[in-house]
Amino acid sequence: MDTVKMTVEMQVTPAQGLALQAMFEHWNFLSSIGSSRDIGFHVDGDGNFHPKCSVKFDNNIPDLTDEFRKISVIKDHNGNRVYDFDPIAWKINH
C-alpha cells in the first residue's frame, strides 16, 4: 500500500484544537485495534469555527475532482455527512 504524507493546517481556538486532537487520538486508537467506526466533528460555522483549512501532500496524488467529492459522501442527512475513502479507492485502483 502506497502512502503519502498529508499536512493539514487550520486556524482554531485552543478548545477546538484540543477537541480535534482528541478526535485524532481516537482515530489512531481505532486503527490500532482494527475497528471501523463513523466519527464526527461538529462544525459550528455560525459560531467561531472558521478553520480556513489548507492541505498539502508530499507526493503527487490524483486531483480531487467533483466526481471524487460526490462519491466520497456515503451518508448525507440534511448536510450531516459521513465521508469514506473506499469509493475513491475502488475508482482509482480498478
Q: Give the pLDDT confidence of 8-48 residue by residue, as tens digits.
A: 999 999 999 999 999 999 999 999 999 999 999 999 999 99
- DSSP letter assigned to residue 77: E
pTM of the prediction? 0.88
Q: Give CA–CA dist 72/26, Å, rounded.
A: 21
Q: Which residue has the cell 502512502?
A: 3
Please give the distance of CA 20 from its chain centroid, rounded to a whole number: 11
Give 21's contacts (C-beta < 8 A, 6+ positions apart): none
Please tell me the predicted confidence (pLDDT) of residue 1.
64
1-5 mean pLDDT: 88
Q: How many CA atoms lie within 13 A of 36 on its CB side?
A: 4
Which triple of cell numbers denotes residue 3? 502512502
Please give the distance of CA 7 from its chain centroid, rounded to a whole number: 12
- DSSP letter assigned to residue 58: S
